[in-house]
Structure 1
Amino acid sequence: MAPALAAVSVALVLGLLLGLVRSDGGQDKVPAILKCFDGQNCLAKRTTWEHFTEDLPSCLHPARVWWSARPAGIPVTLVTQLSVERLPQLRAQCALWNGPLAAALYLPLLAPDALELTAEAKQKLQAMVGSAEELFQESEKGAANGSAGGGCQLRLVLLYELFADPKALVLYPVNSLRNYARLMADTDLITNIDVDMIPSASISTALANPATLADYTASCRTGSVYVWPAFETHCGAASYADNVAVGGKAVIPAALKKCMRKMRPKAPYSHNATNYVQWLASDTAYRINYTSQFEPWFLSWRWGTLWYDYRFRGYGKNKIVHVAAMNATGTAWYVSPHGFIVHRKHTESKVRKVFLRAKFSRKDLQTLQDTVYGHVELLWAAVQKEMAAGTYMARVERGFQACMESLPWWQR
């Protein structure tokens, strides 16, 4: 590629070369999403390790957007994000959600040449598009859960990030992806649930009831959120979580004696505020108190939910800081009686292994400040001070801010 063309948007180049920039349904929404990324030159903003340690934004760009043409189910959008190895989890999540599901699919690409992508990178992008296309077409037929017309209405954006530094490839931009996925939400209520968490079928059933939905909407509009109790499996296949989610609350006691347990027993502060004992005995919502490092998944009002801080990437504290910031605004925390979520087993990510190795190395934070664990912990300490002073605001990328401000369904 001639140097004079280096400033041309890499998305445009890839779109012409690989045929990736295409709209599927969504009427004018897909073009609006693609257009709001115009002007970015990701080849000139390739991510390095210093982007992370210096809290600099990186460049994410859409290669393709899919938007379901199926009739809308429940008017609540499930928002999630994932990498390619988590596509089976997205399929399972889509099967048990009967409303819009907005997902950001992520692909990191090593781009050592500032002028163009390697043949290997282009091949990876093509393969990712093929896998996403297959899943999308399956969901459009309602085949995700084996029955015609069932499952979610999928809205999927494939975002790629170019890296100049191989070391930085582990820096999964989880919070940025959560934000970009949420841009595709146009319903009053949303629930941001990680892709490896399967929602119980009872959630969709409850939200399909007009009276129940109206109660949730009115409450969420006034600053309340509704926590979904979270569980995890410790034996059985991945499908065990799916079976429990289909079975509903009635199967929980038996599952807890077999292959399921409360979420993160080794880190009880993460979810114990949910009060599992009360939830199992309750058929109405009840209020709980926020506790430090609480990190639930919840139902909330789209306009009253804070954005996620892009600086938290790789692994660690990314959701904890968001929940703490929500609490600092006066959020009222309730637990929903209508459903729960179950962690679906998968292989452990490389960055989590690296994070935990540093965490348990017994070295001090200053020594570890150039690691994912060390930087995240120091950043979390700084954020806590800002929250205590009432000055904290989640950092979002300028490109994301411009994108949000240009989308019609995000204008109030």
Structure 2
Amino acid sequence: MCPAVSLYLLIPLLLMLANCANIGVVGDDEANILKSYWNSNYNSTPLSFNEWISGHHARLYMVDAWWSQRNSSIHINIFTTMTLDRIHMLEALCQSYMGPVSAAVYISVDVETYPYDFTSSAGGRGTRRLKSARRRLGEGAPELAAPIADAREKLQDLFTRMEEQSTTIDMIAAALRSNNTPPCCCQLKMALMAERLADPHLAYLMPTNAMRNVAMLMVNTPLSIMLDVDLSFGRNFNELVQNSTWINGLLQGTHGAPQPVMYIPPAFEAKAHHSLNAAKIIVEISLQGGKQTVSSLWKLGILQAFQIDICLHCHGAFNHTRWMESDVPYTVKYTQGFEPWGILNRFLDPGYDERFRGWLYNKQTHVEALAQKHNFVLKVLPDVWAVHRPHKKIASRKLAKPVPDNVKETNTDVMEMLKVITLPDGTNASAYSSYRKYVDNLRYKARTALAARQPYEPQLNPQFLHCKKALPWWGGVR
């Protein structure tokens, strides 16, 4: 039962909190600086599939950026990527974490359908070009900006709601409720990234690693963790990030001497046989409960280690039985294909290899480079866990296994990836098989070089490198 509180006693507190909330508001400045630096090196030429498999960078334009105006003392910034259809997952992640979250949001534009430059749809200096396009293309031209405008509107709505849910009134209400009330919400930073594509099938291969690098640029805390948007941390993570002893231990371990540490939490998911509704309930129980809850659900066969049934070597190195019983961090040896999410010193993160699009090998290669080239030690956190939220699979993931013909016909993304295209060498093949051949070869070359301690450098686009050098919160780190 909440104690009765006089309105007259609340008014001074409300005013004090309102004044504190306005101290050091720099979000708009940081968003504008990021957008300006990024777009100063933008290449507006539409990217083709054949250009990509020939080694060309993703060509991303920052349509807009949002930066929370709320200050935070939390030292860990989560960064993530997503397409617009997963905005509800970003909201769930933001509602579950009280620290900063950076998200790069991807939207593709087929130039055959929308033959305009992004600067034409972004307002300001592009207004004249948009008017010209309307005159040239007729009355339907105002619809050209619809996908961009729709994305911006949805992200603005999310951003506004996340900011408003942490207003002074909510802060007072939270203070009067039980200590068990979960905090809300993160300090959200977002960038809407658009890419002009000459080939429709390339739209189903999001430039995952290029987008991760964009999201990384919005990190301004000592520690960072790349977390896929369909995961969230267990509720106790909010308590840990406020624990100075726990944070200082991470800061000391990740700073780089004698070897940098990446602290890795295991991830779990509902077993595949559960219905979607049942899986969602299991996820929430696992997030809101303690480690004992997770352990019990795992032992009962309700939860499983993330994708352990699909790729044992990707997550098996955690030794989940040991994690259930441990109360101190423990070191695990890197094994080929291991792909944990992890907390590390953001200045020691070399960036993600942008040659990888879609879902294959992108995180695996990054973790392997950290372990094999940069000598990171991998330590499992015994008091942190993540849980995967169930969702529909993307096209390239669906095609990893044979898809029945009757299912193919109802999946536009699958049909697009199965279209036969002509490759640079003149041969014909499906977009999907060409994608697999290219990324399999990339992975083989990277793995061979890293295993033999030979030179390996991730492909980083000029926009990312320029921003890392110029952005004030990165301080010229290359």
TM-score bin (small chain): 0.7 to 0.9
Partner residue in 2 for 1:17: none
Contact 2:58-2:210 at 8 Å conserved across structures: no
Deviation at 1:121, TM superposition (A): 4.4
Q: Which amino acid is the alignment partner of residue 162 of structure 1? A: R
- The answer as to 2:88 corresponding to 1:88 is yes
Identity of aligned residues (%): 25
Q: Deviations over 1:207-255 (max 9, x none)?
A: 2101110111000112011111111113214353133112121211332
Aligned ranges for residues 15-26 of structure 1 at < 5 Å? 26=27
Residues 41, 462 of structure 2: 8 Å contact kept: no
Distance 1:304 1:39, change over 3 A: closer
Kept in 2, the 8 Å contact 1:231–1:260? The answer is yes
User: Equivalent residue for 2:111?
Assistant: 111
Supply the distance in 1 between the matched residues of 2:269 and 2:321 (Cα, whole angstroms). 16
TM-score by length of 1: 0.87
The reply to whether residue 394 of structure 1 matches residue 458 of structure 2 is yes
Residue number in structure 2 paired with 1:213: 247
Instruction: Indicate whether 1:138 and 2:147 are aligned.
Output: no
Q: Can you list the C-alpha shifts for 1:33-79, whole angstroms capped at 9, x where unaligned?
A: 01112444543x21111122112102101111111112315221001
Structure 2 residue matching 1:158: 3-state secondary structure: strand
With over 3 angstroms needed to count, the CA separation of the structure-2 counterparts of 1:121 and 1:379, relative to structure 1, is farther
C-alpha distance 367-60 of structure 1, shift in aligned 2 (>3 A): closer
Partner of 1:33: 34
CA contact under 8 A between 1:238 and 1:346: conserved in structure 2? no
Q: Identify if the C-alpha distance between structure 1 residues 194 and 121 changes in structure 2 by more than 3 Å, giving closer, same or farther.
A: farther
Hey, what does 1:11 align to over in structure 2? Answer: none
What is the distance in 2 between the residues matched to 1:367 and 1:133?
A: 41
How far apart in 2 are the matches of 1:78 and 1:41?
A: 26
CA–CA distance in structure 1, aligned partners of residues 314 and 335 of structure 2: 9
Would the alpha carbon gap of residues 376 and 151 (structure 1) be closer, same or farther in structure 2, given more than 3 Å must change? same
CA RMSD of aligned residues (A): 2.5
Partner of 1:157: 191
- 1:9-408 correspondence to structure 2 within 5 Å: 26-43=27-44, 45-112=45-112, 115-116=116-117, 119-142=142-165, 150-222=184-256, 223-234=260-271, 235=274, 236-256=278-298, 257=300, 259-264=302-307, 265-328=309-372, 329-357=374-402, 371-387=434-450, 388-408=452-472
1:279, 1:403 → 2: CA distance?
A: 39
Unaligned runs of 5+ in 1: 1-23
Give, in angstroms, the shift of residue 259 of structure 1.
3.3
Q: Is the 8 A contact 1:307 1:394 kept in 2?
A: yes
Q: Distance in 2 between matches of 1:386 and 1:286?
A: 28
Distance 1:110 1:42, change over 3 A: farther
Partner SS state of residue 103, structure 1 = strand
**Could you tell me which amino acid in structure 2 is paired with residue 345 of structure 1?**
P
Give the Å deviation of 1:119.
4.7
Q: Is the alpha carbon distance of 1:95 and 1:325 closer, same or farther for their aligned partners in structure 2, counting shifts above 3 Å? A: same
Distance of 1:52 and 1:355 partners within structure 2: 21
> After alignment, is 26-35 or 372-381 more displaced?
26-35
CA distance change for structure 1 residues 98 and 323 in 2, over 3 Å: closer, same or farther?
A: same
State the match for 1:409 in structure 2: 473
Q: Deviation string for 1:369-398 (max 9, x for gaps)?
A: 952222111111111222224200111011
Contact 1:198 1:242 in 2 (8 A): no
Contact 1:270 1:293 in 2 (8 A): yes
Q: Provide the C-alpha distance between the structure 1 equivalents of 2:380 and 2:231, rounded to a whole number of angstroms.
A: 17
Structure 1 position 142, deviation (Å): 2.8
Q: How far apart, CA to CA, are the structure 1 residues paired with 2:101 and 2:393?
A: 24
- Tell me the matched-pair count: 382
Aligned residue for 1:303, secondary structure, equals helix
Query: In structure 1, how many angstroms separate the alpha carbons of the residues matched to 2:255 and 2:160?
Result: 35
8 Å Cα contact 2:42-2:463 kept in structure 1: no
Q: Which amino acid aligns with 1:52?
A: W
- How has the CA–CA distance of structure 1 residues 291 and 408 changed in structure 2, closer, same or farther, with 3 Å as cutoff? same
The 1-side partners of 2:50 and 2:301 are apart by 46
C-alpha distance in 2 between matches for 1:232 and 1:46: 38
Structure 2 unpaired stretches of 5+: 1-24, 119-140, 175-182, 404-417, 419-427
Q: Which residue of 2 aligns with 1:4?
A: none
**Contact map agreement 1:109 1:121 (CA 8 A) in 2:** no
Query: 2: CA distance between counterparts of 1:190 and 1:169?
Result: 28
Q: Structure 2 vs 1, CA of residues 357 and 121 (structure 1 numbering), >3 Å: closer, same or farther?
A: farther
TM-score, normalised via structure 2 length: 0.75
Partners of 1:336 and 1:349 in 2: CA distance: 30
Please tell me whether the aligned partners of residues 74 and 204 of structure 1 are also in contact (alpha carbons under 8 angstroms): no
Rg bigger for which structure?
2
Q: Distance in 1 between matches of 2:292 and 2:164?
A: 30
3-state SS of paired residue (1:311):
coil
Alpha-carbon deviation of 1:167? 2.2
1:153 shift after superposition: 0.5
SS in 1 for 2:268: strand
Alignment check: 8 A CA contact 2:75 2:222 kept: yes
